[in-house]
A and B are shown apart, each in its own frame.
Chain A
Amino acid sequence: MTPSLPHDWSSTVASLRKASDGRLAGGREALAHFERYVNLLFRLTVAHKDAAIRLSRPTANSDAWALTGGHDPRGGSAIRLTDGRYLRLVAWLDLDPRAGRQLRVQALTWQYQNAIDDDSWVFRADYSRARSAAANAPRGHLHIDGTLRHPGVLRPKQPLGRVHFPCQRPTLEAAVLLLADEFGVPTSASHEVWRAAVAEHEARSARLFDL
């Protein structure tokens, strides 16, 4: 029996680089490049082989699109991970008319879940470019579902899960790093391959939050 050769990720890494460039080039094509980038990033790292994402857009001429986990619009928005858990992902994207129709993230949420339903969440990152007058939360923040060892630290009746830990730009690369490095979610490509890709593109992804 011939041992199987290790998977060659070079074409995936090259495609990822091309998609990364394309999403920053602006125009409607940038949205398709962003979708491609997300698909390849997760393929290279923590996505299960059956994981899926979908891109939703209107027939009318609109610059707002949505990228979510899963293929079924009436289902959930979770991406199946290699550890059997899920990452719920919703991204609201648009093209900035004031900046040469550059792609930008309007709002984003990603949430690590023990099961496919929302109630089993472990941690979640939220980002919203727009801030309502009533909202005190940092524009980008992280929630953790858990309990503190020391009583009386939080205000009465405030669970830890409602605390907003500031995190300026919750990129998808940050989600991958957190899942793989801290939660031990297995990656498809080797450590060297996927970490080099994440390092190459994370700062560029952060620009989508800054525009």
Chain B
Amino acid sequence: MQPTKTCVYTRDEIVEFVRFKSLEKGHDPADIFRNFAAGDLRHFSQMLEAYAFCAMLPKDDPVFTS
């Protein structure tokens, strides 16, 4: 087992990461942000990392309403 790597993200990097993970799995990033804000964690297992990143953003971040 290798040592754990710690990755630190800015707000913009978090948004970009969620977009990347959404598109990678064939989902519209806007849907993923919207679903998270609504508490609807659909495609749960597949998208959980993206949802965890959404949780790193403030609840009133504009990405959840745009």
Contacts and interface: CB of A to CB of B under 8 A. Distances in A.
Interface of A: 35-36, 38-39, 42-43, 47-60, 62, 64-66, 68, 71, 73-74, 77, 90-92, 94, 106-109, 111, 118, 124, 126, 128, 130, 132, 134
B32 to A, nearest CB: 14
The 7 closest A-B pairs by CB, nearest first: A92-B52, A43-B1, A64-B55, A66-B52, A58-B56, A54-B5, A47-B1
A178 to B, nearest CB: 17
B65 interface: no
A55 B41 contact: no
B5 to A, nearest CB: 4
Given A132-B39, A134-B40, A60 B48 contact: no
Contacts of A54: 4-7
Contact of B51 (A59, A92, A94, A118): A92
B3 A39 contact: yes
Most interface-central of B7, B11, B17 (chain A CB within 10 A): B7
Contacts of B42: 132
Contacts of B49: 66, 68, 77, 90
Contacts of B11: 58-60
Interface residues of B, number: 31
Interface in B5-51: 5-11, 14, 17, 20, 38-42, 44-46, 48-49, 51
26 contacts: A38-B4, A39-B1, A43-B1, A52-B1, A52-B2, A53-B5, A54-B5, A56-B56, A57-B6, A58-B8, A58-B14, A58-B57, A59-B8, A59-B9, A60-B10, A62-B58, A64-B55, A65-B52, A90-B52, A92-B52, A107-B41, A107-B48, A107-B52, A109-B44, A111-B45, A118-B46
